[in-house]
Amino acid sequence: MNKKFVYTSLALALSFGAMAQDKNAIKFSAPVNKDRAYDHLSILASDEYEGRETGKKGAWMAADYIKKQFQSFGLTGPVKGGTDPYFQKVGLVTYDVTQSSLSINGKAQAAKDFIISNNSVGLSGLDLSANEVVFAGYGLTKDGYNDFDGINVEGKVVMVFSSGDPSGKAPEGQAANPRAAMQARQKLFGNLMKNKAKAILLIDVNFDKVPDYQKAAAANGRIMLKNEATAKALQKPIPYTAITISPAVANEILKVSNTSLDAVSKKISETGKPASQVINVSLAANAQKKEVEHRGENVLGFLEGSDAKLKHEVLVVTGHYDHIGLEADPNAKDKVNNGADDDGSGTTGVLMLAEAFAKAKKAGKGPKRSILFMTVVGEEKGLLGSEWYSENPVFPIANTITNLNIDMIGRGDDDRPGDNNFVYIIGSNMLSDDLDRIGKKANTDYVNIVLDEKYNNRTDPNQFYYRSDHYNFAKFGIPVIFYFNGVHKDYHQPGDEVSKIDFPMLAKRAQLVYYTAWELANGEKRPVVNKNEDGTLKTN
């Protein structure tokens, strides 16, 4: 796009409704521009930052970069009692399976031949033993075929194929559709649980082809917060024990009955009838679970308000700086999920706003209310960083007037081809009509971008209102606006790179957030909360 045209168009847009404009707001908006956006994003979304996965080196590098930027702007670190006032340490942990073992008739099986699922091991560990194993084919009950006919699996260890059907082939669509395969697996588990099986041995006929990194990942737990909710969840009983086994382990069991995997598979496919049987074999499986801490921090930069009566009130501007990291497959052609749009663009927006407001304050024109600029970690793991802050706020929730959250403002939406002069706003009228009015007026007075409210509802099938960090403020009754440019073919793919960012539009969307923040930070009154349609607001 022609640079002269962009700036001329913006200048014309800003000239309309001049009577409603604040000249200082316009004057200090200068750092919110496409060139500054490129400066930040070309670093944050570079290959060197390795996709900024939570708990990994790239995320730590990003946190350090953001902190140094906040410092250079003159923002202060508001965190008390930690090792760094700009870092709010987030309690991140995984619970990983360790020391797993499996033996058949006293013979230890090779570690490369089985996987004990992480979800199958509680905090007290796994200690499974049995004197018989029930082979139940494909675990199916359908169309006159019943793998459970004539056998009782209640309280037993049941061995089944992890996929496929009596024909010996995977059902149509499963091979090409991982979601269909997962749904089939869930149905299989449901069938076994309905029959009250004690444990499940899943025969993966392609086990030897599964990459080692995938096997290791199955034993590792997902990152979660070390908090009361997690503690309660970990105390819940394990619904079932699932152990994935190789054909070698399956044959070790079946040979006790003088048969083999190939033999039973052939029998089922040729006769169309089950080959279910009880095998008198001793089995023992053991595993331990270990809590592992992971480094992660929210990065906070604070700008104190200039009005003695209003500076205790805080506007929070957020974006998540984490992404999904490196491709797990070591043979991938492009190994880095750069996350330029998701959410390097939002993090860049937060940095540009922080610089603009800091310059205003240095010139004696700082906002009346205080502003907390916060980039959060762990969004991709389940909104963890913002959840941690909302439960452990540096500034009281009661004093937090609004959260403006920026998550993906650097590209367009595949559903809006050829038209990128827009931004989706989500949540603006969910809790406060005042906030909705302020945000839309800021757009009319200064920016004149199309505000698309396609996803601004709770019934959106995509559930975008619940899928970014603003929701952890909204659930405490804090009015929010979520700024978003929609999804595209590079969403969560290595193709989400800096070269595909529309920097003029990134800057324009960030300008909308800036002017909205200016109005909120300087308005006579904070937005009034006058709605609670969820009926689930929390207190803190």
Same domain, 441 and 315: yes
Q: What is the pLDDT of residues 487-533, one digit of tens each?
A: 999 999 999 999 999 999 999 999 999 999 999 999 999 999 998 76
Q: Would 358 be classed as within a structural domain?
A: no
Q: Which helix (H) or strand (E) is 371 found in, with range?
A: strand 370-376
Same domain, 64 and 174: no
Question: How much is the average pLDDT of 183-206?
Answer: 81
Give the span between the Cα atoms of 289 and 95, in whole angstroms: 6
From the list 443, 453, 382, the residue with the least C-alpha distance to 94 is 382
Domain boundary residue, one of 250, 268, 292: 292
pLDDT value for 19? 47
Sign of the four-CA dihedral 413, 418, 421, 422: negative
Q: What is the pLDDT of residues 426-460, one digit of tens each?
A: 999 999 999 999 999 999 999 999 999 999 999 99
Q: Is the pLDDT of residue 540 over 60?
A: no
Same domain, 266 and 303: no
Give the span between the Cα atoms of 26 and 32, in whole angstroms: 10
Going from the C-alpha of 186 to that of each of 115, 192, 285, 330, the distances in angstroms are: 18, 10, 23, 29
Q: Would 518 be classed as within a structural domain?
A: yes
Q: Is the pLDDT of residue 218 over 60?
A: yes
**Domain carrying residue 277:** 94-292
Give the span between the Cα atoms of 515 and 26, in whole angstroms: 8
Domain boundary residue, one of 263, 292, 321: 292
Same domain, 516 and 383: yes
Q: Would 466 be classed as within a structural domain?
A: no
Same domain, 179 and 198: yes
pLDDT value for 486? 95
Same domain, 67 and 102: no
Q: Would 465 be classed as within a structural domain?
A: no
Q: Would 531 be classed as within a structural domain?
A: no
pLDDT value for 169? 59
Strand partners, 279: 133
CB 286 within 8 A of CB 345: no
Q: How many domains does the chain have?
A: 2
Same domain, 50 and 76: yes
Confidence of residue 537 (pLDDT cuts 50, 70, 90): low
CB 385 within 8 A of CB 377: yes
Q: Is the pLDDT of residue 3 over 50?
A: no
Q: Would 537 be classed as within a structural domain?
A: no
Pairing of strands 422-426, 480-484: antiparallel
CB 91 within 8 A of CB 225: yes
Q: Is the pLDDT of residue 90 over 50?
A: yes
Q: What is the pLDDT of residues 387-399, one digit of tens each?
A: 999 999 999 999 9
CB 197 within 8 A of CB 158: yes
Q: Is the pLDDT of residue 18 over 70?
A: no
Same domain, 229 and 317: no
| CATH code of 192's domain | 3.50.30.30
Q: Would 481 be classed as within a structural domain?
A: no
pLDDT value for 215? 86
Question: How much is the average pLDDT of 193-222?
Answer: 88
Side-chain-side CA neighbours of 94 within 13 Å: the count stands at 19
pLDDT value for 179? 57
Pairing of strands 199-203, 224-225: unpaired
pLDDT value for 174? 43
Same domain, 85 and 148: no
Confidence of residue 165 (pLDDT cuts 50, 70, 90): confident
Same domain, 203 and 136: yes
Same domain, 102 and 57: no
Give the span between the Cα atoms of 431 and 313, in whole angstroms: 18
| CATH code of 32's domain | 3.40.630.10
Q: Which residue has the higher pLDDT, 35 or 5?
A: 35
Same domain, 286 and 301: no
pLDDT value for 214? 85
Q: Biggest alpha carbon distance in the chain?
A: 91
pLDDT value for 171? 44
Q: Would 257 be classed as within a structural domain?
A: yes
Confidence of residue 4 (pLDDT cuts 50, 70, 90): very low
Q: Which residue has the higher pLDDT, 341 or 99?
A: 341
CB 341 within 8 A of CB 505: no
Going from the C-alpha of 310 to that of each of 304, 305, 369, 400, the distances in angstroms are: 10, 7, 5, 11
Percent of the chain whose predicted confidence (pLDDT) is above 70 = 91
pLDDT value for 10? 45
Mean per-residue pLDDT over the chain, rounded = 91
**Six-digit token string for 302:** 């604070």
Q: What is the pLDDT of residues 319-328, one digit of tens each?
A: 999 999 999 8
Domain boundary residue, one of 257, 292, 327: 292
Question: How much is the average pLDDT of 402-413?
Answer: 97
Residue count (the chain): 540
